[in-house]
Structure 1
């Protein structure tokens, strides 16, 4: 199963298919090169005989640059395969140390690998394990186990496993777009390889079903005139590059070619699926996919042009340093609340306040626990509503609807949770009792205001969503997001109703829209970077962590950092009130 392209050169789909190596053999546009100074060309249009018994010091070189593929490889592939059928290569192994076992390997050749580790050519495959002493016994039996290769590792399943889809006696393989890693179903997975690092493997549909021809490969070839003489080629099947961007070696160069059982033993029982039904987990993984793609592009840039990459990093660093230097980071007191402060001073004062009573503020952040549970419940119950469930199932192959529903429902709950935490923190800081007793008082008072907070949030969320969905209303939606930033603090400190809180927040932001936008972006960006950064480290350190545990840890991170952002936004409110009262910034007095 290969993910469909919506149009030519569409990077979201799969432009290639499993093909015969004949498309690159005897091809006048393909060169055989020898490793050395300037990698001299040995011959153009190398044949199978030319590759016979060549060692590691040789490689094939296709038209184009593997690090800057553009649409060259796709166009060439379509040209080379115009009259060629899809092909896979079969290889039968009877391990000498396991006479009662037989393995049938299916190897697929792909013209180009368009993943994090871009390179010319790609070899992937699956293996079927039989309890059989001969080929005849295997033909009369069913496999006991099947393994799918994925980035130097893979995943296994028993033949009667529910996750294995079959078309009669043929297993279905879902090939990841770009990387060609093999999976048992349609989804977005976390891929991992020792040399390629982490990335996202997309097998979600819609997909095209391919039924390839099968060519049987021998263990070894001794005759250079044999059409399969290329099996003995130990060089690279693509352009020579550094590290993971190097062209791959062929099937016979792999350890499992003649010794497949150790490979089976190392396969995982499952793969890590991106949690599309959980907004927080999905957000982190989407960010992870973006970070990995950006990191891969940065590595490619550095490989192709180190000077350009270094200049780019210096420019980014200079811009961030310039932005940070536009504010004042001197330490000022968080008291009194209604006082002018720069954005840097607000963030620093918030950190000092948080460190003063971390456990109490973390306790206030526990509101994210029921919010996370409620968001998960929404995702489950939405499928039970007839028309919603049918809509999700109808669009399920694309995966986009699940993500949209999760973002719409789960995102609303998470935003509501932050509004609640902001109100709790503002009420706690408003009181004089900074102990557990003050925490209980803040919780009681905020609970009494729950109706006002909920109404104000619904008004805000509905207004912004309607504007943003309309496309042309996006600028106004962004404007309203900033205007309503101080709504929770207004409800707490000025005890207004829902409509009045939005009007008052708009008044406080009037004339200070850019300042408020910068402050809110810096504060929420601090939360986002902290949560995403720690979550990405978690993914890198423990890729096999269960999804429920991963989502729980993401929620825990929000519990830890959301109160800090709420403290900072409370200080933004105090600064806005002081500004409307004409208090000059010059009145600031550093506590240092």
Structure 2
């Protein structure tokens, strides 16, 4: 009776009583201390939307907090209690949820600022629990649970529970102390990744403490410094662990094995609601550890949900935009758009309607028929220019395959140079290597060289394709080799350098970005003019401006669509393959690069046809080069 009265008094005062210690719990706590994880969180950034601003924290940081409320499941959610304590959550409350300060759909810096305040008051904490599985009586699970106040990933939501799990081939904690774990599982979104004890990917400190790399924002637990690509149970998007801070060793809060004992010490482990604001879809707050199958049937859950590896985003550069990089960016952008429109369906409907209207308007304002690729020098609508380029590809596939191969060879130079910095730092250079951020003078120099070579490659492609069309139009024989060889006959470097420098300088200052866009479109035909009209770089820039004058929008839209399609074909196909197949990212990026190499010469041909359309309607003026329409 005295014990009951004392426990009641402690609960009323808000102090959680210590659980009774049994020999089994004593051994289990020793086990928990022996294998306590070492955590390498990602580096934080000054910008609250970048890096990692959340730590695995003591649950007491949100219980009894005046900024937290317990709400009911009705519409609108009713306020049940402010500053709920652990004993309040112990009453279970299925369908209820904790409401933290902020809006998870538009978090801004609210949660990051709140996290900084809580981190200064509470030490990093993990909750350790040893559990058996009725279906596997000869095995034991040691779980470490991490609680974060916010998930700042694609699916932003309040509260976040993650875990790692060690499995022992032992029936009791006492027996587990005499052996090593058989396997380890790190939780990652809807699943977990397995490692055998002693695997190379499992990093250990002092031989027993597994090192965990929580991904920035999502807190998915990873085994190393990588950029991971998520599909299916791996989550949708990309998890980044490439910039870890120095390791921390969170405080281990031991959770007794017996349910009655752990509820006495941690009554919030009886809560059946959600640890975060209720929202639609995957923006919903999560349930707690006690609601997971890994808590009640840990070995069964491991057998059904653990996988042997995670998908790594290839670090090596390939030709054209990387499908995996575009996938990472596209998922993040799509998630942001969904968040902004989830509770404003009218805005989503408006955006979709505008997109459909723009595509329909652009497609209906052009002609697609009567698109014979030769003669090249004749007026064409932009739709005809695209179809003409495709028709030319169909008639001369060998010629375009040659351009694709040449583009690939030229781009290999940039790929090799991009790896130079990694090799200088003795970093891995294989396509599955860790994604590191190179810094310093040499890294900046290599990045500049890669950029310049990439621009040069595209300029050479535009000139070679234009030379090909010019010769075909004149009835002259042409091959890939001769077209590329003839490129050196024109002053491309000076004109291209002036074009790029002006655009870059105007882009640096936000106020002059519209001028950069205007300049980029109005001088977009400089390469075509140089090749077809045999003039100097300065004259070509002026001539391009006159060709576009008074037709700026009619030039900007087709150019954007044509060049954008050429750049997007590979990544879009890659994203489809990523979602629809289990191919490796490296193979998918190779396929994407091949499609890019084929698409860009076609896009270059379409741009050349757009130039011919402008040139036929606006011949050179007095003092300019000879008429582009005159045959040589």
Q: Same fold (TM over 0.5)?
A: yes
Matched, 1:202 2:240: yes
Residue 500 of structure 2 is matched in structure 1 by 464
SS of 2:589's equivalent?
helix
Mapped partners of 2:267, 2:223: distance in 1: 33
Residue 448 of structure 1 is matched in structure 2 by 485
SS of 1:536's equivalent?
helix
Residue 120 of structure 2 is matched in structure 1 by 82
1:24-75 Cα deviation digits (max 9, x unpaired): 2223332222323433233222222222252532222222222222222223
Matched, 1:533 2:568: no
User: CA separation of 1:282/1:312 partners in 2, compared to 1, >3 Å: closer, same or farther?
Assistant: closer
Greater CA drift, 290-299 or 48-57: 48-57
Deviation, structure 1 residue 244: 0.7
SS of 1:449's equivalent?
helix
Deviation, structure 1 residue 18: 0.4
Residue 130 of structure 1 is matched in structure 2 by 168
1:541-575 Cα deviation digits (max 9, x unpaired): 23x53343122111111133123212212213323
Residue 17 of structure 1 is matched in structure 2 by 55
Q: 1:176 aligns with which of 203, 215, 222?
A: 215
SS of 1:126's equivalent?
strand
Residue 549 of structure 1 is matched in structure 2 by 587
Matched, 1:505 2:540: yes
Greater CA drift, 232-241 or 129-138: 129-138
In structure 1, list runs of 5 or more residues that go unmatched.
Answer: 390-394, 584-592
Contact 2:578 2:585 in 1 (8 A): no
Deviation, structure 1 residue 432: 5.5
Mapped partners of 1:408, 1:333: distance in 2: 41
Residue 212 of structure 1 is matched in structure 2 by 250
Contact 2:63 2:85 in 1 (8 A): yes
User: CA separation of 1:236/1:388 partners in 2, compared to 1, >3 Å: closer, same or farther?
Assistant: closer
Contact 2:87 2:267 in 1 (8 A): yes
- Asked which structure has the greater CA Rg, the reply is 2
Deviation, structure 1 residue 235: 1.6
Contact 1:16 1:112 in 2 (8 A): yes
In structure 2, list runs of 5 or more residues that go unmatched.
Answer: 1-39, 429-433, 622-632
Greater CA drift, 327-336 or 299-308: 327-336
Q: 2:139 aligns with which of 86, 89, 101?
A: 101
Residue 247 of structure 1 is matched in structure 2 by 285
1:104-160 Cα deviation digits (max 9, x unpaired): 111100101111111110000111233334323433433333221111112222333
Residue 587 of structure 1 is matched in structure 2 by none
Mapped partners of 1:135, 1:388: distance in 2: 42
Deviation, structure 1 residue 406: 8.0
Mapped partners of 2:612, 2:225: distance in 1: 51
Residue 70 of structure 1 is matched in structure 2 by 108
Greater CA drift, 169-178 or 356-365: 356-365
Deviation, structure 1 residue 444: 3.4
User: CA separation of 1:532/1:84 partners in 2, compared to 1, >3 Å: closer, same or farther?
Assistant: same
User: CA separation of 1:388/1:148 partners in 2, compared to 1, >3 Å: closer, same or farther?
Assistant: closer
Matched, 1:3 2:42: yes
User: CA separation of 1:332/1:552 partners in 2, compared to 1, >3 Å: closer, same or farther?
Assistant: closer
1:233-259 Cα deviation digits (max 9, x unpaired): 222111111121111111121112232
What TM-score do the two structures reach when normalised by structure 2? 0.78
Contact 1:365 1:421 in 2 (8 A): no
User: CA separation of 1:148/1:371 partners in 2, compared to 1, >3 Å: closer, same or farther?
Assistant: farther
Mapped partners of 1:221, 1:573: distance in 2: 76
Aligned-residue RMSD, C-alpha:
3.8
Contact 1:427 1:442 in 2 (8 A): no
Contact 2:145 2:289 in 1 (8 A): yes
Residue 340 of structure 1 is matched in structure 2 by 379
Mapped partners of 1:512, 1:546: distance in 2: 46
SS of 1:104's equivalent?
strand
Residue 590 of structure 1 is matched in structure 2 by none
Mapped partners of 2:321, 2:461: distance in 1: 22
Mapped partners of 2:451, 2:489: distance in 1: 20
Contact 1:174 1:203 in 2 (8 A): yes
Contact 1:2 1:175 in 2 (8 A): yes
Mapped partners of 2:466, 2:384: distance in 1: 18
